[in-house]
Chain A
Amino acid sequence: MSDATAKEILYRIRRFEPTRDRAPRWQAFTIPRVPGMTVLDGLWTIKQTQDASLAWRSSCRMGICGSCGMLINGRARLACNTQVSEIDAAVIVVAPLPNFDIIRDLVPDLSPMFDAHAALMPYLIRDDAREQERPTGEFSQSPQELERYLQFSYCIKCGCCMAACPTYATDPVYSGPMPLAQAQRYNADGRDGGFLRRRAVLGGERGPWRCHFAGECSRVCPKGVDPAKAIQLMKRDLVWDYIRLRKEQCPAAVMSKPKAGTRRPDIPEPPPRTV
């Protein structure tokens, strides 16, 4: 643990200003240490009191928006979700997420990740477009069916898993843990019928085959999404599909309202529809 009794804390920050620097450089800042401060709080203090040109992305300050993924003391994590007191070093070392180009200072260019994400069709694919646009009811889904993908749907697309992945460190063709986990989130959804369309991408080089279960993605994920689990389950589905063992199932149908029976008088009417 860093020295909690110290009055000050030292930050070493990787800086890069594209109009001025030819390569990233390190800059040190000493700031007052406040109990309960996060790494993100420290960055704000530096920006407000020492160097207004320091750039990073952040928004919600509570681990929900996924903007402030950074390499903090060698580990990809959210700056807002990391207490200064939990870092086991005297100096807080902050760098932009690796495996993405640096736009400026701590701002990585995440667009390759989102391109890969979009290519894997992270949405429900069904034949009944009209029902999806103008729903007449809910698609049926049991709690057990929900559990098959719920964990993967907690992803906030912060990119920490991509920064930790050894394959993604060299191979830009590999889709990476986030897009693959999100493809599995939809493949595993009982309401989805897009397995064959996603297979067209997943069966090739961009699929899960370059994952060798080093497990870094799951180790760094700030939301417990466990992309490594999603990717292994995806491999099973695709191998089962190849050897014709995968059970193809129709996407869940719209639940029809009960036709018979009378409404209990103590149940109030639903509010009027707003959309």
Chain B
Amino acid sequence: MLRVQGFPNRLGVRGWVGGGRWGMERYLYTLHRLTGLGLLAYFLLHIVVTASRALGEGAWARAMDTVSGGVFKVGEYLVFAAFAFHAANGIRLVLVELGFGVGRPIEPVYPYKTSLDAQRSLAIGALAAGAALAILGAVELLVLR
């Protein structure tokens, strides 16, 4: 078969972010990815910091002292909010990516209804649940404490 050397035209990481006229699920995909990376970064540090409890009260108190203060408090809340979103959207993704809630294959009749429409209420529900949890966390972490 004839092969031609064309001009490379892959969008690259710009294609991940998309932006502009993309739909809701595209933004959820990006946010899921960002919150996942954030949570992982926090989690790896969290393992190391909290391992200090095995060394006794003194080591624990020193470790907790290092990670207290305004910046850490806001950071901690961001982790909680990221968790709220990642968990709620994650429930949707587990269902959808195992083929639940995407609808059965149908005869495509214009205007097309796709799996995106079929799971839209699930997406809105997940976003609402994540937001509600994030607000509850804000009251707890930033107001009551």
- B9 CB contact (under 8 Å) in A99, A150, A154, A213: A99
A232 to B3, CA, bound (A): 33
Chain A residue numbers with a CB within 8 Å of B7 are: 16, 18, 23-24, 101-102
With A218-B116, A224-B108 known to touch, is A229 a contact of B102 (CB < 8 Å)? yes
Can you list 23 pairs linking A and B with CB atoms under 8 Å apart?
A24-B9, A100-B6, A101-B7, A101-B8, A111-B1, A151-B106, A170-B13, A212-B29, A215-B23, A215-B26, A216-B18, A216-B23, A216-B26, A218-B114, A218-B115, A219-B23, A221-B112, A223-B108, A228-B102, A229-B115, A229-B118, A232-B98, A239-B98
| Residue picked from A150, A166, A170, A224, most chain B C-beta under 10 Å | A166
A197 within 8 A of B: no
Within 8 A of A (CB), among B1-35: 1, 3-16, 18, 20-23, 25-26, 29-30, 32-33
The answer to whether B99 and A235 have CB atoms under 8 Å apart is yes
How many residues on chain B are close to A (CB under 8 Å)? Answer: 46
Chain A residue numbers with a CB within 8 Å of B98 are: 232, 235-236, 239
The answer to whether A149 and B105 have CB atoms under 8 Å apart is yes
The answer to whether B9 and A229 have CB atoms under 8 Å apart is no
A76 to chain B, nearest CB (A): 11
The answer to whether B6 and A229 have CB atoms under 8 Å apart is no
The answer to whether B16 and A166 have CB atoms under 8 Å apart is yes
B145 within 8 A of A: no
A212 to chain B, nearest CB (A): 5
The answer to whether A170 and B97 have CB atoms under 8 Å apart is no
Chain B residue numbers with a CB within 8 Å of A151 are: 105-108
A225 within 8 A of B: yes
A169 to B29, CA, bound (A): 14
A188 to B105, CA, bound (A): 10
- B residues with CB within 8 A of A: 1, 3-16, 18, 20-23, 25-26, 29-30, 32-33, 93, 96-100, 102-110, 112, 114-116, 118
The answer to whether A169 and B11 have CB atoms under 8 Å apart is yes
Write the chain B residue with the least CB distance to A211: B97
With A111-B3, A218-B116, A224-B112 known to touch, is A232 a contact of B97 (CB < 8 Å)? yes
A205 to chain B, nearest CB (A): 17
A256 to B13, CA, bound (A): 55
Chain A residue numbers with a CB within 8 Å of B18 are: 166, 214, 216
A224 to B114, CA, bound (A): 7
A138 within 8 A of B: no
A237 to chain B, nearest CB (A): 8
A235 to B20, CA, bound (A): 29
A47-82 interface mask toward B, CB cutoff 8 Å, 1 = contact, 0 = none? 000000000000000000000000000110000000
